[in-house]
Amino acid sequence: MVLLVSVRWMWSWTPERYTIEKKVRRFVMRRKGLKGFGWKRWSREDIYKRWGLYNDYQIRYISPKATPNR
């Protein structure tokens, strides 16, 4: 149950996140000279915590520091 709880907080996947993770996995496997994507070799926690892959994808609106003169 602990594993299920620890993975659930990361389980809001979008197709973009999945594609980026897949590309990173494939890149590392090719660098090692192996076939496949490494789905059984590394967990998502390894990739996002130990490797430091960015996981905070959000749209952020930047507010101007000053109001524009019109």
The pTM of the full predicted model, rounded to 2 decimals, is 0.59
3-state secondary structure of 36: coil
In terms of Cβ atoms closer than 10 Å to its own Cβ (0-12, 13-18, 19+), residue 28 is middle
Give the CA distances from residue 16 to residues 2, 19, 60, in Å, rounded to whole numbers and listed in that order: 27, 5, 17
Whether the per-residue pLDDT at 31 is higher than 80: the answer is: yes
Quote the tokens at residue 64: 């101007």
Tell me the average pLDDT across 42-49: 87
Whether the per-residue pLDDT at 43 is higher than 80: the answer is: yes
Whether the per-residue pLDDT at 10 is higher than 70: the answer is: no
**Which pLDDT value is given to residue 6?**
41
**Which pLDDT value is given to residue 57?**
65
Tell me the average pLDDT across 17-42: 91
